[in-house]
Each structure stands twice: as C-alpha cells, then as structure tokens.
C-alpha cells in the first residue's frame, strides 16, 4: 500500500507561489497565521537560508525539476506564451526531470496544481496523474485547469480544489504497492489578492497592523510606473489582507492534505517537503514584487530567499532549524539521495545533496557556504558575509556587507577598501557559471527583461526576440487588484 518503508519513502513535494521567507509564523512572523506549516516545522527541519535559483517562478521551478541552472535548462523568465493549445511550447523537452529518474526506479508520479513550464495541456511522460493549471496564475474562483489532457473550469476556490485532488491521489495510491511522488503546487499566495479569498481568512487580518511589511517609499528602480505605484500604495492594506489570507487558506488546505496522509497510514513512510518557488516583497525595499519588481532585476534576500520545511518522522529529527546556505539546485540530488535512488548525470550539475542536514548528521564541512543565483543578465554570488550582484554587460553592480548591513541598504561596490572582495567574488561568480551554462542558453546575453518568455531561449534573435519588453495589464505585474474575474463570492 504505497511505500510503507521509511528508507524508500513516498515524496509529497508542496510548493507555494510567491511566498516570502518572512510569511510564516514559525519563521518569526507573529502576524501571519500558519498553524499547520508551523506544526510541520516542529516535526522536522526548517531552513533559514534557503535560496531559489532565480527570483521568478518559471526558472526557479524548472531548476527544482531538472537540477540545472536557468542558463542550462533554458527557462530564463516567467512563461508568458506556450502553455496550452496550438501555440504550446514544451520548455523542458528532452530534459531529464527528477520525476523521470524516480519513475524509472518504480515511483508513480503525480502532478496537481501550477506547472507554468509550458505545454500544460499535455501530460508529461512518467506521470500517472496530471491536473495542471492552464497557465500559471489567474482567478482563485472558477480556475482554468487541465484534467489529464482536457481543459476544465474548476468550480469553487482553487486552493481547496488543488488540495482535494491531491487528497484523492493519496487515497488512490495508498492501495497500490509502489511508492509515489506527488507535486502539490499551489497558486497561492500569488495575486490577485483583493476580494479574492474566503471571508473566514480575510477576517483574520482586518485588524492586523502589518508591521511585518514595511510601508517604504518606492524603490528607485521600481517598474510599476508612477500611477501603479500610487494605486498600490492606496490599496496597500486590502492587498496585504488578501495576501495574508491566501497564505492562511493554503495553510489550512495543506493541513487537510497532511491529515489525509495520516489517515492512510503513510506519515511515517512519506517525506514531506514544503517550499516556495521564489521570495516576495510587499513593501520591502519599496518594492511590490519579486526579482522583476525592479528594472534592472534585483537580488535582494527578500526576493531570492524562500521558506523551506521538511518532515519525515523517524528519519528527520524534530524541531531542527538550520542556517546552512542551500539552494533550489540542491533539491534534485537531495531528493534522489534521500529516496535511495542512484542517478549518475551525464554531465556535472551544480547541486549537492543536503540529506545529512535533513537527517541531523551533518557537520560543519557538510553544509554549502556559497550560493549562486541568476535572472537573465543579473547574477549573484552570496556567502554568509557578502553578497555580490553582477549585471551584464555594464552594471550597475552591487556589494553588500551582510554582517554589518543585513537589510542590504548600503552598496559598497565602489568603496576602495572593498575592491579586493569585489574582485574575488566576481572571479568566483564567473568561474562557477562557466562550468554550468549552456552557451546556447546563456542568459547573460539573451535580453531577458523580467516581462515574460515567449519561446525557446536558444532561438532568440533580434528579429524574433524570445523575451517580452513590456508588461501587459493582467500579466505578471498587476499586483494590487483583480481584473474583475475570480473574486470571492
């Protein structure tokens, strides 16, 4: 009945959408209510320094599935075109996903929720269950989904619908002998926020002061445009109520899924991982958005850090909090290692397994001490002490002293006494990326703007660019109000 063996566990991989690392009660935010995720952390390990590979959804998700950096797998921006219909583009065609490796070892794989990696209406090979969002975001009520290969409109609140389909998958798989993998990828708490979530959850925050979300002046690089900035500031409180409500509603749905797992007797044989695809700023640094909340794109910790929790009673000691620097490109090797699945990649991949951190057996030498990140021509290297951000071709570059300036307020890149640090980190950054990029997909010269990907990166030409150069109304930029569709009844 599914896996009943802790050494060959089932894997429940839960991913939220645009959840800042600060948006968890167990991470120290007293305003947001996430009791089920807090309990999951109490039963396992929570990471304080977990980084996405790119601070926007599609590239980060592609890295989780492939173990590669964006400049290798080729998803360099959020996907605007190619999700369904005759215009579909399979952005991961020909690439080995973690689920391909697991399926070859006998796992039954299911995907429920957001995909946003192209070709959402074609079930991927090696999946026995495919219930995907038609694009990657949209209304919370009457959401457009794909059930196997058929477009459907799902009545009700999409967070609950995703949870219900996920719970049914668990019940179905419990009767089978094989272990399972379930990607349970919510669209929450991605906008729309205002008037789009159940009243039971918005009411939780009617009197909230929202001290955890600073009301700062707009960042100099903020790209919403002055009218949008002013509208966002006017609607700030209602936006925050909606965002916090979306997180709490998702937390409640996750609680029901975990209860269903327990009812099937699978808790002790299932690794549960919860994380977000990228971080989020809701006024932090004067930004409403993530990496593409500014132009040029930013690499603030609030954009590149994500919440991450893992739990597996009996294998992962309870109540751990790790400050190790780990990244989304470490997920692929870690999950295979934890499942005992041997995989020898055809070429070097950047990630390393942090299984020892999960199981509480790591020593100081086991934890990575450097992380890297990219978003188009913007690249980052981060140690515990320093963060260097390099923007091809001409800058502006940034250097932050994270010990003295954890809020990343003072750019020291032009300080004379910091020149040796800049030179060292720049060299380290260049050397690392030279090992892992695919020259045809190297984002450093691809013209990624943060406004959406239109096709395969390696086919981009000046005459037919693969990256949009402006944001559209209702695209991944209109952060404050719903367009009129999908509002809460």
Give tens-digit pLDDT for 68-78.
Answer: 999 999 999 99
Domains of the chain, each with CATH number or no CATH: 10-359 (3.40.720.10), 371-452 (3.30.1120.10)
Given a cut of 90, whether residue 472 has pLDDT beyond it is: no
Predicted pLDDT of residue 484:
44
Dihedral over Cα of 121, 124, 125, 129: its sign: negative
Residue with tokens 């949009």: 468
Percent of the chain residues topping a pLDDT of 90: 85
- Residues 146-182: pLDDT tens digits? 999 999 999 999 999 999 999 999 999 999 999 999 9
Give the separation between CA 89 and CA 82, rounded to whole angstroms.
5
Mean pLDDT of 363-381: 84
pTM to 2 decimal places: 0.96
The rounded Cα 53 to chain-centroid distance in angstroms is 9
In the structure, what pLDDT confidence band is assigned to residue 62 with cuts at 50, 70 and 90?
very high
Mean pLDDT of 330-359: 95
Give the separation between CA 221 and CA 25, rounded to whole angstroms.
30
- Residues 130-140: pLDDT tens digits? 999 999 888 99
Give the separation between CA 71 and CA 59, rounded to whole angstroms.
9
Residue with tokens 């969002």: 133
φ, ψ of residue 133 in degrees (nearest 5): -65, 140
Give the separation between CA 455 and CA 452, rounded to whole angstroms.
10
Mean pLDDT of 221-238: 70
Predicted pLDDT of residue 363:
75
Helical segments of 305-452, H only: 331-339, 355-359, 419-436
Residue with tokens 């991989």: 13
Tell me the sheet residues that pair with 380: 373, 389
Which run of H or of E encompasses 309? Answer: strand 308-311
Give the separation between CA 336 and CA 273, rounded to whole angstroms.
13
Mean per-residue pLDDT of the chain: 93
φ, ψ of residue 79 in degrees (nearest 5): -90, 115
Which run of H or of E encompasses 363? Answer: none
Predicted pLDDT of residue 231:
64
In the structure, what pLDDT confidence band is assigned to residue 235 with cuts at 50, 70 and 90?
confident
In the structure, what pLDDT confidence band is assigned to residue 105 with cuts at 50, 70 and 90?
very high
Mean pLDDT of 242-265: 98
In the structure, what pLDDT confidence band is assigned to residue 481 with cuts at 50, 70 and 90?
very low
Which residues of 39-161 form beta strands (DSSP E)? 45-47, 50-51, 108-113, 127-133, 141-147, 150-157
Give the separation between CA 275 and CA 16, rounded to whole angstroms.
6
Mean pLDDT of 381-410: 97
């Amino acid at each position: 009945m599914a896996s009943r063996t802790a050494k060959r566990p089932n894997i429940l991989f839960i991913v939220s959408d645009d959840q800042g690392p600060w948006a968890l009660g167990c991470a120290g935010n007293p305003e947001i209510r996430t009791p089920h995720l807090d309990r999951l952390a109490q039963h396992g390990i929570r990471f304080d320094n977990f980084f996405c590979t790119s601070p926007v959804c599609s590239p980060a998700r592609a890295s989780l599935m492939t173990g590669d950096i964006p400049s290798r797998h080729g998803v360099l921006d959020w996907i605007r075109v190619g999700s369904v219909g005759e215009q579909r583009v399979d952005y991961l065609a020909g690439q080995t996903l973690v689920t391909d490796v697991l399926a070859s070892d006998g796992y039954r794989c299911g995907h429920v929720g957001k995909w946003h990696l192209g070709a959402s209406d074609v079930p991927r090979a090696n999946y026995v269950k495919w219930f995907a969002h038609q694009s990657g975001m949209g209304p919370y009520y009457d959401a457009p989904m794909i059930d196997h290969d058929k477009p459907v409109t799902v009545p009700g609140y999409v967070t609950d619908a995703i949870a219900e389909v996920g719970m049914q998958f668990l019940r179905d798989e419990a009767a089978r002998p094989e272990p399972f993998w379930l990607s349970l990828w919510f669209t929450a708490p991605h906008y729309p926020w205002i008037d789009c979530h159940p009243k039971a959850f918005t009411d939780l925050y009617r009197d909230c002061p929202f001290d955890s979300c600073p009301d700062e002046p707009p960042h100099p690089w903020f790209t919403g445009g002055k009218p949008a900035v002013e509208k966002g500031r006017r609607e700030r409180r209602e936006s925050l109520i909606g965002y916090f409500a979306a997180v709490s509603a998702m937390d409640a749905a996750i609680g029901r899924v975990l209860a269903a797992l327990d009812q099937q007797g699978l808790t002790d044989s299932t690794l549960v991982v919860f994380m977000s695809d990228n971080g989020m700023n809701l006024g932090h640094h004067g930004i409403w958005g993530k990496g593409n909340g500014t132009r040029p794109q930013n690499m603030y910790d609030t954009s590149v850090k994500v919440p991450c929790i893992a739990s597996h009673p009996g294998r992962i000691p309870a109540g751990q909090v790790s400050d190790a620097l780990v990244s989304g490109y470490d997920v692929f090797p870690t999950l295979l290692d934890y499942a005992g699945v041997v995989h020898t990649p055809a070429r070097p991949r950047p990630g390393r397994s942090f299984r020892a951190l999960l199981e509480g057996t790591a020593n100081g030498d086991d934890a990575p001490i450097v992380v890297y990140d990219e978003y188009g021509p913007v690249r980052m290297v981060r140690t515990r002490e320093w963060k260097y951000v390099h923007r091809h071709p001409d800058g502006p570059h940034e250097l932050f002293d994270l010990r003295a300036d954890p809020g990343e307020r003072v750019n020291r890149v032009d300080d004379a006494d910091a020149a040796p640090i800049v030179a060292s980190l720049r060299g380290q950054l260049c050397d690392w990326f030279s090992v892992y990029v695919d020259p045809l997909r190297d984002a450093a010269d691809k013209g990624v703007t943060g406004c959406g990907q239109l096709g395969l990166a390696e086919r981009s030409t000046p005459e037919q660019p693969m990256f949009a150069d402006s944001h559209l109304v209702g695209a991944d930029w209109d952060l404050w109000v719903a367009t009129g569709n999908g509002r809460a009844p």
